[in-house]
Amino acid sequence: MKEIVLSGIRATGQLHLGNYYGALNKFVRMQDDYNCYFFIADLHALTTHPDPTILHANVKSILSEYLAAGIDPDKATIFVQSDVPEIPEMYLLMNMHVGIGELMRTASFKDKARKQLGIKTDNDNDDIEREIIGNNSNKRVNAGLLTYPTLMAVDILIHHATKVPVGKDQEQHLELTRRFARRFNSVYGVEYFQEPENFNFGGEAIKVPGLDGSGKMGKSEGNCIYLLDDEKTLRKKVMRAVTDEGPKVPNQPMAEPVANLFTLLKIVSAPDVVDHFTEAYNNCSIRYGDLKKQLAEDILKVTTPIRERIIGIRNDDAYLSQVVKQGAEKARESASKTLREVREIMGIKRFF
């Protein structure tokens, strides 16, 4: 039997190169060898983007992007999270075994809670718990955000997935999923859930940097190259990437913005191209303009065919709805079996 793989992306905007290399590209490469479930996390998107018109458009655009990148609905199960009502029910059950303390300590929660409260710092020492409890303005941190990791754990465990291809930023959520699985087993004295792990074809988890000099490429950071960017926009973004004034002495350590450009180059370009520019940097002959031109060229080689396919698919409502209908049926089949068993293990069963 094939091992079960599951992953999802939140419906919060168009996909960028970080999503592609951290997640989507791996989905495509796994679909032949594993029993794959790939979904669009619209319920998770509600924790930060509760806007009905945008949500609808985002679900559709991510679905088109999945298909355009090469996920084949006849090989993998592609579904929308909210089409599977077994997920929210199991989320309620699982929440009974999750501590609010451990949820509050999650890095992504602290980050997003600060944003919802309008706190600027990302200083780990600020007392976010006290801010949340004491805050009586009309700003609030929604409870869905706190329980985000429970919902994610359920997404995974409800299909008994053991491999979860995600980027590095999701590793803490996976760690929590493993903890919740172990806890469920030990509370009920069963060996029911297996502990899932990230999957990277044997390599390290990937973090695609942004073009603005620091941090990761992310939708909310405004530093993205989108799969849908046209050639002109894409070249402009790459040519504007932050650098420094260039190396002054041979083998000088790279400043973060330059190191980030090399990280991107390693991800998208051939090894000899990377060697060429590394050597040029180390002997101080590098021209960042040439590096950026090459980088834009190599990114376009990846994104152009995907972009063309997205444009071809995204208005084909009949096809898109058929894909998710078929996916929801398959996902519900597996989810309802797990939910039935979980209810039974937890004692929610009628005896009269």
One symbol per residue from 162 to 191: x for binding ligand TRP (CB under 6 A), - otherwise; what is it?
--x-x---x--x------------------
Q: With binding defined as CB under 6 A, does residue 169 bind ligand ADP? A: yes
Judged by beta carbon distances under 5 to 8 A according to partner kind, the member of ligand ADP, ligand TRP, none in contact with residue 173 is: ligand TRP
What are the structure tokens assigned to 192, written together? Answer: 């029911």
In the sheet where 197-198 sits, what is the strand order?
77-80, 35-41, 4-10, 163-164, 197-198
* Residue 206 one-letter amino acid: I
Is the Cβ of residue 170 or residue 223 nearer to ligand TRP in the bound state?
170
Give the residue, chosen from 4, 5, 14, 19, that forms a contact with ligand ADP under the rule CB under 6 A.
19
Q: Are 172 and 108 in contact (CB under 8 A)?
A: yes
> 173: closest CA among 286, 49, 10, 295?
10
Q: How long is the chain?
A: 352
One symbol per residue from 191 to 230: x for binding ligand ADP (CB under 6 A), - otherwise; what is it?
---------------xxx-------xxxxx----------
One symbol per residue from 14 to 53: x for binding ligand TRP (CB under 6 A), - otherwise; what is it?
---------------------------x--x---------
Q: Which of 60, 112, 163, 292 is catalytic?
A: 112
Residue 219 annotated among the catalytic residues of the structure: yes
Cα four-point dihedral sign 319, 323, 326, 328: negative
> 324: closest CA among 18, 14, 39, 86?
39
- Window of 8-16, 230-238, 263-271, 289-297 that interacts with ligand TRP by CB under 6 A: 8-16
Shortest separation between residue 5's beta carbon and ligand ADP, angstroms = 13
Q: With binding defined as CB under 6 A, does residue 149 bind ligand ADP? A: no
Residue 216 annotated among the catalytic residues of the structure: yes
Q: Is 326 left (phi over 0), alpha (psi -120 to 50) or beta?
A: alpha
141-175: b (≥16 Cβ within 10 Å) or e: beebbbbbbbbbbbbbbbbbbbbbbbbeebeebbe
Assign 3-state DSSP to the chain and report helix, strand, coil percentages, each to 5: 55, 5, 35
Q: With binding defined as CB under 6 A, does residue 306 bind ligand TRP? A: no
Q: With binding defined as CB under 6 A, does residue 235 bind ligand TRP? A: no
Give the residue, chosen from 42, 86, 89, 155, that forms a contact with ligand TRP under the rule CB under 6 A.
155
Q: With binding defined as CB under 6 A, does residue 112 bind ligand ADP? A: no
List the catalytic residues: 112, 216, 219
